[in-house]
Amino acid sequence: MSTKTKPTTDSSLTWENARGHIFMCLSRSSSTRAPVPASYHKNEEKSPFAKQPFAGGFEACVIVRYLESPIGPYDELLWIPGAFKVPWSGEQTYRATRAYVSTDLSVSIGRQSWNVPKMLAKFEFTPSESGHLPYSRIAVSPHHGKEPFMQLDLRPMFLGSRPFLPINTKYVPMDFVFDFPPLPASEDNIHRALIGTCDWKQVCLQISGMAGMVSIAGKMGDGIHYPQMGQKSSWLWLKDARIRIEGVQVQPEGSATGQRKTAE
């Protein structure tokens, strides 16, 4: 569901032709009062970013291995706990509240251009001997730690996990629009690279590719670095998906001053 906002021309960034493998699991949120524990990084959990009205809905774990992007290949892990109410309209849109990436540049670009709360982590993708799945294991660890907080074992299932279903979000009868509040900057020496922002951003996503199903087991979050997920065995995966991301600064519809009022 899109918000009643109008984009401005500054602070925008659009990626037209990124591509990568995507792994995603959806489930119904267990709460409409607050996101599950560990949904926020410590940098954001006590800031206005984490105090937006929560509406529940579907929660999602998303892993993307970007094979190509305007800033080069990199890896990403996102947590989407559900939908949030946009303060000035009351409409509901989804957003990632916790995100990890594998390069410093993707941290700064994601935070500054899209308000996505990215932090650095270590990713390990183990090649698969399967004829269709590219990986047999995906592990994500803290940047300054050794023990993975997520370690997923991928196993072929229906049709050997062959990508058989064409997907294009351009033709799905819903908007893949995400609204992000401003991000706080880090005040400690360890996370000085965490850039703060001042305005709301709206991110529009388009994905197309061939999708299949994959069975996944293993360590799905530790409740500290990432929410502990249940044993969700069936995931959707897209092979070499085409990804378009458009981010714009937004302001309330009908604003007389043209300045956004940030909800506290």
pLDDT for 188: 66
pTM score: 0.89
The per-residue DSSP string of 19-64 comes to EEEEEEEEEE-S-SSSPPTT-S-TTTTTSGGG-SPEEE-EEEEEEE
What is d(CA 201, CA 115) in angstroms, rounded to the nearest whole number?
A: 6
pLDDT for 232: 67
Going from N- to C-terminal start, the domains of the chain cover 5-252
Select the highest-mean-pLDDT range: 5-19, 148-162, 201-215, 246-260. Answer: 201-215
Per-residue pLDDT band for 144 (boundaries 50, 70, 90) equals: confident
CATH number for the domain running over 5-252: 2.40.400
Beta-ladder partners of 80: 60
Average pLDDT over residues 220-241: 89
Average pLDDT over residues 163-168: 93
26 has pLDDT over 70:
yes
Model confidence pLDDT, tens digit, residues 173-199: 667 899 999 999 987 655 667 889 999
Q: pLDDT higher for 19 or 10?
A: 19
In order of 15, 136, 162, 217, the CA distances from 128 in angstroms are: 29, 5, 13, 15
